């Protein structure tokens, strides 16, 4: 795969995201992975990458975006075709109640998650009156953080859904008003060909939208 094939792969991803968004009433716009990131045609080396936001009102009523990154190219004689997506929304009102919350699947390697490099001291929170939730998930907050509002964020209906109806690798984080959700086990690549997986996008938008929408509504009620 030469550079032109890699760029064609990224253009194909962009077209598929446009079609996906149009069917769901969302909008696609380019996004920079870092400030000053060059366009794919200006990037150096055998691997080319790009990022998009698929934005709008997601399931659960929360305004947010799917931040979707694609990588194409060839290295060490192997073709590379990868997709990766996270769901992001902002809940600034939550900062005063819950500065940091991390919910991740028990038994899943923490380094797989987008937010894995956060090394701040934290403590486990349990006792949600659900043995299945305690079995499936590790719930953490910043060390010394008040747990009172956290209990309000987890009403019985949300606990039941989280414990029994979420993907096996589902996780989310609320950090300084930014809600991020991910299903990282397959890094967004359910398809063997490394192309855009609409089912994965729907799963992430649906599960992330419901969790983010719950946090948004609980904050608004306070």
Residues 6+ apart with CB under 8 A from 191: 197
**55-111: pLDDT as tens digits:** 999 987 889 999 999 999 988 878 888 899 999 999 888 888 888 899 988 877 777
Rounded to an integer, what distance in angstroms lies between the CA atom of residue 161 and that of residue 176? 25
The rounded distance, in Å, linking the Cα atoms of 82 and 70 is: 6
| pLDDT attached to residue 31 | 93
For the stretch 124-145, what's the b/e string if a residue is b when 16 or more beta carbons lie within 10 angstroms of its beta carbon?
A: ebeebebeebbebbbbbbbeeb
Rg (CA), the chain: 18
What number of other Cβ atoms are within 10 A of residue 72's Cβ? 27
Phi, psi of 132 (to 5 degrees): -70, -40
- Write the pLDDT tens digit of every residue in 130-146: 888 888 998 988 888 87
What are the sequence ranges of the domains in the chain?
A: 92-177+212-221
Which strand ranges, in their side-by-side order, compose the sheet holding 171-175?
27-30, 47-57, 63-75, 78-90, 178-182, 171-175, 100-105, 137-142, 122-125
What is the pTM (predicted TM-score) of this model? 0.88
């Amino acid at each position: 795969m030469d550079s032109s094939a890699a760029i064609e792969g990224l253009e194909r991803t962009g077209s598929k995201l446009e079609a996906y968004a149009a069917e769901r009433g969302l909008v696609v716009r380019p996004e920079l992975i870092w400030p000053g990131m060059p366009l794919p045609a200006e990037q150096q080396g055998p691997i080319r990458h790009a990022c998009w936001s698929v934005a709008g009102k997601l399931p659960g009523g929360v305004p947010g975006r799917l931040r979707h990154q694609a990588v194409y190219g060839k290295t060490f004689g192997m073709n590379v075709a990868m997709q990766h997506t996270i769901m992001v929304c902002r809940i600034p009102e939550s900062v005063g109640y819950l500065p940091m919350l991390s919910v991740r699947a028990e038994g899943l390697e923490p380094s797989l998650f987008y937010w894995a490099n956060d090394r701040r001291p934290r403590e486990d929170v349990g006792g949600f009156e659900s043995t299945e939730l305690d079995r499936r998930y590790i719930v953490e907050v910043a060390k010394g953080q008040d747990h009172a509002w956290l209990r309000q964020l987890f009403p019985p209906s949300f606990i039941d859904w989280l414990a029994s109806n979420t993907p096996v690798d589902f996780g989310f984080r609320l950090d300084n008003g930014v809600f991020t959700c991910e299903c990282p086990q397959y890094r967004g690549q359910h398809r063997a060909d490394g192309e855009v997986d609409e089912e994965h996008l729907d799963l992430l938008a649906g599960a992330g939208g419901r969790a983010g929408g719950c946090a948004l509504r609980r904050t608004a009620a306070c």
